[in-house]
């Protein structure tokens, strides 16, 4: 009785919250095909907003810039996150460990306004003293990387903790020097996590508004900045078209990734079970 109630209420609540989560997405998808600018009435099917999207140079330029920034941020973040995760997991005691840990994890929680502001001041100051850097793509990448590194580190850290340390010892025992151990054994085994960190940082960078606004320079406008500009001015279904394309891409990527993971896990489990069965048979015989 109790369990039944819990089950029904549970399903109801899950459905409700999922509806809440997906309502805006569905709204945008539907109305991206609206033939007029109307927000409440679907007046007819049309692809005009997609056309407008493809002709909107500001959006297209912003897209390419964001792509470049996100790719660079992703790589940089993944590398730094690997370093940081390695340091925190492997080195128990070193000078300033708590401070280090605090600094790495802080961007996860801090308001972006503070991060953006303080970095801006840093760059302006540097510009005064060294004459460099100019605010633009480079500074945006640095700002995004700070954030990406924090998020990436969470993923890599958890994988590092999970990994069996003995294989590193085994590698050393077999003659691999420490740097060889890292590149030949550790890295391949945490690779999936590093990839995940890259994707996470990429997404965050591609989506970021605040830090970009603080750190961008003249003529440098990322896609979110463009959209933000449009958004403040009013409703523009071209944005809905962009959103629909994005949702479609993300859905395809994530679902295929999930399916691939599920399939390879099942395959792996089947193989392990088959090996165990074989062994039992051999024992019996």
Partner 1 sequence: MAAFQLSLPGKRFVIGVPYLWLFVFFFLPFLILLYISFVDMGSDIHPFKPLWDGQAGVLRLKYENYLSIFRVTEGAPWFRTLYIDAYVRSIGYALATALLCLFIGYPFAYFIARSAPSVRPALLLMVMLPFWTSFLLRVYAWKGLLGDNGVINRFFMTVGLTSEPVQMLYTNVSMLVGMTYVYLPFMVLPLYANLVKMDFRLLEAAYDLGATPFKAFWLVTVPLSKAGIIAGFMLVFIPCVGEFVIPSLLGGPSNLMIGRVVWDEMFTANDWPKATALAVVMIALIVVPLALYYHYTGDRSEGGKP
Partner 2 sequence: MADTSRPDGYLVTEKLVKKFDETVAVDEVSLSIGKGEIFALLGSSGCGKSTLLRMLAGFETPTSGRILLGGVDVARLPPYERPVNMMFQSYALFPHLNIWENVAFGLKREGLPKAEIQQRVDEMLGLVQLTPYAKRKPHQLSGGQQQRVALARSLAKRPQLLLLDEPLGALDKKLREQTQFELVNIIEKVGVTCVMVTHDQEEAMTMANRIAIMSKGRVLQVGTPQEVYEYPANRFVADFIGNVNLLDGQLSVDEPDRCAVATALGEVQVGHSLSGAVGMAVAVAVRPEKISIGKQRPEGVRANLFTGRVKEIAYFGSYNTYIVVTPQGKTVKITEPNGSRHELLDITWEDDVFFWWDNTDAVVLRD
Q: Which of residues 71-90 bind partner 1 (CB under 8 A)?
A: 80, 83-84, 86-90
Which CB atom, from 256 or from 278, has the smaller least distance to partner 2?
A: 278
Please calculate the CA angle 102-81-72 and round it to the nearest 5 degrees: 125
Q: If you write DSSP's letter for every residue of 105-169 in order, what string do you get? A: HHHHHS-HHHHHHHHHHHHHHHHHHHS-PPSSHHHHHHHHHHHHHHHHHHHHHHHHHHS-THHHH
Residues 6+ apart with CB under 8 A from 157: 85, 88, 89
278 binds, among partner 2, partner 1, none (CB under 5 to 8 A by kind): partner 2
Structure tokens given for 6? 């819990």
Nearest in space to 72 (alpha carbons), one of 202, 191, 199: 202
> HSE of 28 in the Cβ direction (CA atoms, 13 Å)?
18
Q: What is residue 40's DSSP assignment?
A: S
Is there binding between residue 60 and partner 1 (CB under 8 A)?
no
Which CB atom, from 264 or from 278, has the smaller least distance to partner 1?
A: 264
Is there binding between residue 185 and partner 1 (CB under 8 A)?
no
Is there binding between residue 177 and partner 2 (CB under 8 A)?
yes
Start-end of H helices in 163-236: 166-173, 178-181, 187-207, 210-215, 223-233
Which CB atom, from 68 or from 90, has the smaller least distance to partner 1?
A: 90
CA 3, CA 5: separation in Å to the nearest integer? 5
Residues 6+ apart with CB under 8 A from 219: 136
Is there binding between residue 192 and partner 2 (CB under 8 A)?
no
Task: Work out how close the CB of 284 gets to partner 1 at its nearest, in angstroms, rounded to a whole number.
Answer: 32
Task: Work out how close the CB of 191 gets to partner 2 at its nearest, in angstroms, rounded to a whole number.
Answer: 8
The one among 24, 170, 184, 256 contacting partner 1 by CB under 8 A: 24
Task: Work out how close the CB of 254 gets to partner 2 at its nearest, in angstroms, rounded to a whole number.
Answer: 25
Indicate the burial class of 189 (C-beta count within 10 angstroms; 0-12, 13-18, 19 or more): middle
19-78 residues near partner 2, rule: CB under 8 A: none
Which CB atom, from 104 or from 194, has the smaller least distance to partner 1?
A: 104
> HSE of 51 in the Cβ direction (CA atoms, 13 Å)?
6
The one among 19, 54, 113, 274 contacting partner 1 by CB under 8 A: 113
255-274 residues near partner 2, rule: CB under 8 A: 268, 271-272, 274
The one among 2, 166, 232, 233 contacting partner 2 by CB under 8 A: 166
Site map (CB under 8 A) of partner 1, residues 224-263, x = contact: x--xx--xx--x---xx-xx--xx--xx--xx--x---x-
174 binds, among partner 2, partner 1, none (CB under 5 to 8 A by kind): partner 2
Is there binding between residue 176 and partner 2 (CB under 8 A)?
yes
Residues lying near partner 2 in the complex (CB under 8 A): 164, 166-167, 169-177, 180, 184-185, 188-189, 268, 271-272, 274-276, 278-279, 282-283
């Amino acid at each position: 009785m109790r369990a039944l109630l819990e089950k029904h209420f549970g399903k109801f609540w899950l459905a409700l919250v999922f509806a809440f989560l997906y309502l805006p997405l569905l709204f945008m998808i539907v109305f991206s095909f609206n033939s007029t600018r109307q927000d409440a009435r679907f007046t007819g099917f049309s692809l005009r907003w997609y056309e407008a999207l493809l002709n909107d140079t500001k959006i297209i330029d912003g897209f390419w810039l964001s792509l470049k920034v996100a790719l660079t941020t992703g790589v940089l973040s993944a590398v730094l996150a690997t370093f940081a995760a390695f340091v925190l997991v492997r080195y128990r005691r070193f000078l300033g460990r708590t401070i280090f840990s605090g600094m790495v994890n802080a961007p996860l929680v801090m308001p972006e306004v503070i991060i953006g502001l303080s970095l801006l001041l840093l760059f302006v100051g540097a510009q005064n003293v060294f004459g460099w850097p100019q605010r633009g793509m480079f500074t945006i990448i640095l700002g995004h990387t700070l954030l990406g590194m924090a998020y990436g580190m969470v993923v890599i850290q958890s994988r590092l903790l999970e990994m069996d340390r003995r294989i590193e010892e085994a590698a050393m025992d077999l003659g691999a020097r420490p740097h060889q151990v890292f590149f030949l054994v550790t890295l391949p085994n945490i690779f999936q996590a590093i990839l995940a960190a890259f994707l996470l940082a990429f997404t965050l960078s591609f989506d970021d508004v605040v830090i970009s606004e603080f750190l961008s320079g003249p003529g440098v406008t990322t896609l979110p900045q463009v959209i933000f500009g449009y958004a403040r001015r009013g409703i523009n279904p071209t944005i809905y078209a962009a959103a629909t394309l994005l949702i479609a891409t993300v859905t395809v990527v994530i679902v295929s990734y999930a399916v691939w993971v599920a399939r390879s896990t099942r395959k792996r489990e089947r193989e392990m079970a088959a090996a165990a069965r074989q062994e039992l048979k051999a024992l019996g015989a």
